[in-house]
Structure formats: structure tokens, C-alpha cells
Amino acid sequence: MVIFIGSLLLGIGINGFLVPHRLLDGGITGIALIIHYYLDFPTGLCMFLISLPLSFYAWYRERDYFYNSIIGLIVAAAFIDWLAPIRTQFILPILPSVLLGGTLIGVGIGIMLRYQTSTGGTDLLAQFISKAFSINIGVIILMIDGIITAAAYGILGVQVFLFSCLTIAVIGLVTSLITRPIGRGT
């Protein structure tokens, strides 16, 4: 159920709020969005194909992560492509789109990670890093996403780059809040 709900939120956040403004998420999804924007390749399928090497790595390194992420990857990729028609349904200005899209994606990723599943890709990489260094997974995802968005700066333009950075910050904040252990201080 967690994979279903998380993937649904991802698909709505990406298609309903990011794609209409050509905004990026970070990580593998960000790379898949760049390919979609310039080659019109389906975002979910692209995300799936790019994530396969990390999934194979998880198969050898940490089988539990593999099993928990491969289903999340398949379902999330399917939802992202299945919900592509909603790209024209939520016509909002860019700032509300950033806030709503970032929140939906952050909640989707956060609940999946909270229950030890993910969409594979850089979420899977972040799980490995978080486990190895005891760093909050939301912070790691934020750093990876920032690097990918910064690398795409030249093709995005200043406005889209800045709003994509804000989107990633919202996603990272929401993911971090949701994955924070219950009972620890504020």
C-alpha cells in the first residue's frame, strides 16, 4: 500500500506540477525529466532504465534494499507514465506548482523511505549512504538532487534552474521531516 500511495503522489507531483513548467526534480527522476523535455521519451520508462544499474548493485550488496526498491521503481515508473495526461489539468503559476509539486513528491518519497522501500535510483543510493554514515536520508537526497540540477543549469535557464532548486529544497525538507524518527527531539 505504501508503494502504491507513494508512487501515486510522485506521479501527480511530477506530471501535475513540475512538467507543465519544465521543472526538475533531482536524481534519476531529474535526469529522466531532462531526457523527456528534449527527446520526448516517457519519463517513467527512462527513470526505470537509468535506475537498473543501481538496482543490480543492490542485488549484490543489500538484497533487502533490492527487493524493497525494485517494486517501488516499477510501480513509480508506471504511475509517472500512466498519469502523464494530467499535465494539462493543473494550470497554476510556477511558485504554487513548486510548492504543491515539491510537497507531493516529498510526501511520496518520504512515506516510501519511512517504510524501507523506495523508487530505486538515487533514493537507493541515498539509503546506502545513510546507512554507512548515519546521515538523514532526506539530507543526502537533497545533496544529490542539487548536484544533478546544478549540472543541468546550462540547459535550464536561470528561472527554471532557480525554481527547480526551490522544488528540490521543498522535496528534501518534506522527505526529511517524514523520515525523521518519531520520539526524537525537534
Residue 69: predicted pLDDT: 82
In a domain, 118, yes or no: yes
Q: What is the pLDDT of residue 143?
A: 83
Residue-level pLDDT at 49: 95
Profile the chain (186 residues) by mean pLDDT over runs of 10 residues.
94 96 90 91 95 87 81 94 93 95 94 83 80 81 81 85 92 86 59
| Cα angle for residues 52, 100, 113 (degrees, 5° grid) | 40
Residue 68 falls inside a structural domain = yes
Measure the CA–CA gap between 45 and 29, rounded to whole angstroms: 10
pLDDT at 183: 62
Q: Is residue 186 part of a domain?
A: no
Has residue 185 been placed in a domain?
Answer: no
Q: How many domains does the chain have?
A: 1
Give the count of beta carbons closer than 10 Å to the beta carbon of residue 75.
Answer: 21
Residue 122 belongs to a domain? yes
DSSP 3-state assignment of 180?
A: coil
Q: Look at residue 186 and give its three-state secondary structure.
A: coil
* Number of neighbours of residue 60 by Cβ within 10 angstroms: 8
The answer to whether the CB of 175 falls within 8 A of the CB of 111 is no
Is 184 inside any structural domain? no
Residue range of the domain that includes 175: 2-179
How far is CA 66 from its chain centroid? Answer: 17
Query: Where is 76: in which H helix or E strand?
Result: helix 63-82
Q: Give residues with Cβ within 8 angstroms of 150, minimum separation 6.
A: none
**112 found inside a domain:** yes
Q: Is 73 a domain residue?
A: yes
